[in-house]
Amino acid sequence: MNDDLGAPVELPERPRRVVSLVPSLTEVLAADVRDALVGVTDYCTHPADLDLPRIGGSKYPKVDQVLALSPDLVVANSEENRPEEVAELRGAGVPVWVTEAPATVPAALASIRRLLAEAFALAEPEWLREAERLWNRELPPVTATAIVPVWRKPWIVVGRDTFAGDVLRRLGIANAYAEHEDRYPRPKLDELQAVRADLVVLPDEPYEFTADDGPEAFPGTRSVLVNGRFLTWYGPSLVLAHAALAAALEPGPTERA
């Protein structure tokens, strides 16, 4: 079998010891093959009761600690994890399944379905069917245009072909940087402030924007604080994310007028 990038993954039997290098995939595996998980990153925060060895961050996992857990499969992502660590793990004889960074919600769900079916021989879980029901609908009309920062110092925003951008578009929110040549542009603040946008969407991860840290940079533009997991994680969180994000993004009375 091959992973999302076409690399071969040799699995003689269903994996029994799995290390996840991706928080959203940790949530998926904890929901569907929890007994197989033996190690996760420092940023794998869900489910909240997951008590497993931590092997460092997604970008810089401690490969020696991963190998010490004797995994028969490591799951990674082309955007969140560096090729160097993937190559080192494969060089040590550990199979690594790399998922592709999804540009849309349907692409993310298709990737998860294939991972569960091919690597673990699992039937489609109920949460995945519900997520598809909620998110695979006809695109609604655009009701607002948003700037979506994911970092400051320097400012980094969501650009073209991103999962977060597609999540918002499926809720009727257009991304002001959707046509930018970069997936994550780094505009200066004065450029951001000059963009004609109806709102600024501020997640609490990877940068933790708060009511006191973020909105003040965009005076006169409505700021919406959202759960970053609902905006960027593709897994069981998507079931709750649809209603939660829709409620948070609902325009105020002056915007409806």
Averaged pLDDT score across all residues of the chain = 95
- Dist CA 198 CA 65 (whole Å): 46
* pTM to 2 decimal places: 0.92
Give the angle 114-172-218 at the CA atoms, nearest 5°: 110
State the pLDDT at residue 255. 39
pLDDT of the residue at 253: 40
Q: Where are the alpha helices (DSSP H) in 4-43?
A: 23-32
Per-residue pLDDT at 252: 59
Q: With beta carbons less than 8 A apart as the criterion, state whether 144 and 174 touch.
A: yes
* 235 contacts 24 by C-beta, under 8 angstroms: yes
Question: For the residues 94-119, what does the mean pLDDT come to?
Answer: 97
15-61 pLDDT per residue, tens: 999 999 999 999 999 999 999 999 999 999 999 999 999 999 989 99
pLDDT in tens, 218-230: 999 999 999 999 9
CA gap 44, 26 in Å, rounded: 7
Higher-scoring residue by pLDDT: 250, 91: 91
Mean pLDDT value across residues 107-114: 97
For the chain, which domains are there? 18-124 (3.40.50.1980), 135-249 (3.40.50.1980)
Furthest C-alpha separation in the chain: 62
pLDDT at 168 over 80: yes
